[in-house]
Amino acid sequence: MSLRATKRIKDGKEHRYWSIVESKRCQGSRVVQRQVLYLGEINDSQKTAWCKTIDVVMEDARSRQIAIFPQDRQAPPLDCDVVQVDLSRLQLKRPRQWGACWLACSLWEQLKLDEFWQDRMGVSRQGTRWLNVLKTLVCFRLIDPGSKWRLHRQWFDQSAMGDLLGEDFSLVQKDKLYRCLDRLLEHKRDFFSYLNKTWQMLFDVRFEVLLYDLTSTYFESDPPEYHGEGGLRRFGYSRDKRSDCVQVVIALIVTPEGFPLAYEVMPGNTSDKTTLSDTLKKVEAQYGKSERIWIMDRGIPTEETLAEMRNSGMPTSYLVGTPKGRLTKLEQEFIGKPWAQAKESVQVKLLEKQDEVYILAKSTARHQKERGMRQRKLKRLWARLHELQTQSNSRDQLLLKLGSAKKDAGRAWYLVKVDIPSAQDYEKTGLQFSLRKDKLRTTRLREGRYLLRSNLTDKDPAILWRHYILLTEVEQAFKELKHDLAIRPIYHQKDDRIEAHIFVAFIAYCLQVTLKHRAKSLAPGLTPRAILEKFAAMQMVDVELPTSDGRQLSLSRYTQPEKDQRLLLQQLKLTLPEQPPPKITAST
């Protein structure tokens, strides 16, 4: 990189504007210079009326106006201080990521989160600004998620969060990061209420339809030693396929547009069907009773819970998936009912039964997907059984290999009848198997079909089906929390810290959803992660210029946005802030 001056004649005066440029060699041995940093004007003229002054932060933290001149130019008498700099000894120091940090702080401001947290996360007696600690934790989780140790040891120094917040490294001392977590949980319920109003104000979100689902996230730590009841870290059904790790269960409520409203953290051995009743009571206590439609997957509600929802003082509407066993019972009653077109490739049937309706959906795309999966697994199982039939295995060895084949085949195993002879007859007959044609016929007929259940008896079945498909939003929320925001694995061991860790990830997810919905209308086709990565390419560096009196003039400058970044700024209607004021310090 090098220093380049651009001359311009203005009002009869020659101005020189300075930039840091990078030389790039192109085809044909051409060298092209790319502007990296714009430093602005440094006075050249000796005419007092033409001299330009700037505000500079001095060593005593006070702001003062000075005029800057190159060391090879004579400065005229001025009313302000004059500083002469040696341009030949210019240095660039501390390159750090700026763009994504600035964008994250802008999203924080768009949600007006300072209004909520300002009084709740004040300043300690030692001068710690807990609000800035929280901002740093949330922005780190959004931009480049990792452990608190990595934030303390590496990320803060390599980012411009300190510059944007006006803080130094003491902000991210390890104990401060954890002590900040300890201050969060008491404000969780109030934050949910504030978030409700914010979504309404910014995006005109409505809350008549709510999506509810659960997931689990695991820990990279030793299992706790239980002493009686209590504790969140438990072994249970792992949706991450990590049954070897303890986990917690997270219940999430989002709107059909994907805006998160609330969440709950439960012990890792919590059964899905035991969570709904308490969640309904907490939502009513938080937001009051109202006519809401709850959309859930099968396995969450029990018959008792659905009966309570139907018979409550203000009936609560629901739309839930139904286990396939119930389709067997109702199959005959659906015969003769007309199909209605819900989508180009989806048809639905409606069956009214007492104070509920059942919706049978038939999807062409799902039929092709399920058939392809079944055919692949059945073909693989059939080939494996033939291999075992020709091998010389003892009966015990055969049983072990059949167990492995059963695990790999999944439901396809039940389409094959496997006859395992007794120990006495094994040498004579060996392994025998055959296809269960009746089960295969039933399976083929039901592929691509699923059953829904609701107490919205006056709704069009096609509308109910479209409501149910919205569950993909909550599944997408879990995907982003686990992958984009890296909520797993968790390393904390105290229950309060575990919940606070998830709370920080939840706030970061709110920022990501805000960016997603702004991009949806202003820059469609780009994901929040792609936008953050684009802005992360904008760096901040310290430009240091020695002065003639032995001090250092330091200019912290973010790099000029590239063409694609300028386009993003224009599309998202964002304006970059002014460059930070220069600082003068004693030479080190």
Tell me the per-residue pLDDT of 122-178, one tens digit each, with 9 for 90 and over: 899 889 999 999 999 999 999 999 999 999 999 999 999 999 999 999 999 989 999
Residues 348 and 420 in one domain: yes
pLDDT tens-digit series, residues 550-562: 788 888 899 989 9
Q: If you average pLDDT over residues 213-226, what whole number do you get?
A: 82
CA–CA separation, 513 and 377 (whole Å): 38
Q: Is residue 491 part of a domain?
A: no
- pLDDT above 70: residue 436: yes
Residues 102 and 92 in one domain: no
Residues 174 and 91 in one domain: no
- pLDDT above 90: residue 45: no
Residues 147 and 42 in one domain: no
Q: How confident is the model at residue 47 (pLDDT cuts 50, 70, 90)?
A: very low
Q: How confident is the model at residue 83 (pLDDT cuts 50, 70, 90)?
A: confident
Residues 109 and 24 in one domain: no
Q: If you average pLDDT over residues 2-26, what whole number do you get?
A: 71
- pLDDT above 60: residue 269: yes
Q: Is residue 280 part of a domain?
A: no
Residues 333 and 405 in one domain: yes
Q: If you average pLDDT over residues 434-443, what whole number do you get?
A: 93
- pLDDT above 50: residue 227: no
CB-based contacts of 341-345 (< 8 A; 24+ apart in sequence): 341/462, 342/461, 342/462, 342/465, 342/466, 343/462, 343/465, 343/466
**Looking at residue 379, what is its pLDDT?**
96
Choose between 356 and 23: higher pLDDT.
356
Residues 151 and 87 in one domain: no
**Looking at residue 40, what is its pLDDT?**
67
Residues 448 and 408 in one domain: yes
Q: Is residue 154 part of a domain?
A: yes
Residues 552 and 437 in one domain: no
Backbone angles phi, psi at 145, to 5 degrees: -60, 145
**Looking at residue 378, what is its pLDDT?**
95
Q: Is residue 28 part of a domain?
A: yes
**Mean pLDDT across the chain, nearest whole number?**
86
Q: Is residue 488 part of a domain?
A: no
**Looking at residue 16, what is its pLDDT?**
72
The count of structural domains within the chain is 3
Grouping H, G, I as helix, E, B as strand and the rest as coil, residue 406 is: helix
Residues 160 and 89 in one domain: no
pLDDT tens-digit series, residues 318-344: 999 988 888 888 888 888 889 988 888
| Cβ contacts of 87 within 8 Å, gap of 6 or more | 3, 18, 42, 70, 71, 545
pLDDT tens-digit series, residues 492-521: 889 999 999 999 999 999 999 999 999 988
Q: How confident is the model at residue 43 (pLDDT cuts 50, 70, 90)?
A: low
pTM, full prediction: 0.84
How far is C-alpha 383 from the geometric centre of its chain's CA atoms? 42
Question: Domain residues for 351?
Answer: 323-452
Q: Is residue 512 part of a domain?
A: no
Q: How confident is the model at residue 51 (pLDDT cuts 50, 70, 90)?
A: low
CA–CA separation, 409 and 422 (whole Å): 24
Residues 79 and 132 in one domain: no
Residues 45 and 150 in one domain: no
Domain boundary (492, 511, 535) is at: 535
Proportion of the chain above pLDDT 70, given as a percent: 89
Q: Is residue 276 part of a domain?
A: no
Q: Is residue 412 part of a domain?
A: yes
CB-based contacts of 189-193 (< 8 A; 24+ apart in sequence): 189/286, 190/116, 190/120, 191/116, 191/507, 192/261, 192/262, 192/286, 193/286, 193/287
Whether residue 130 contacts residue 183, with contact meaning beta carbons closer than 8 Å, is answered with yes
- pLDDT above 60: residue 428: yes
pLDDT tens-digit series, residues 99-138: 999 999 999 999 999 999 999 998 998 899 999 999 999 9
Domain boundary (409, 427, 452) is at: 452
Domain boundary (452, 484, 506) is at: 452
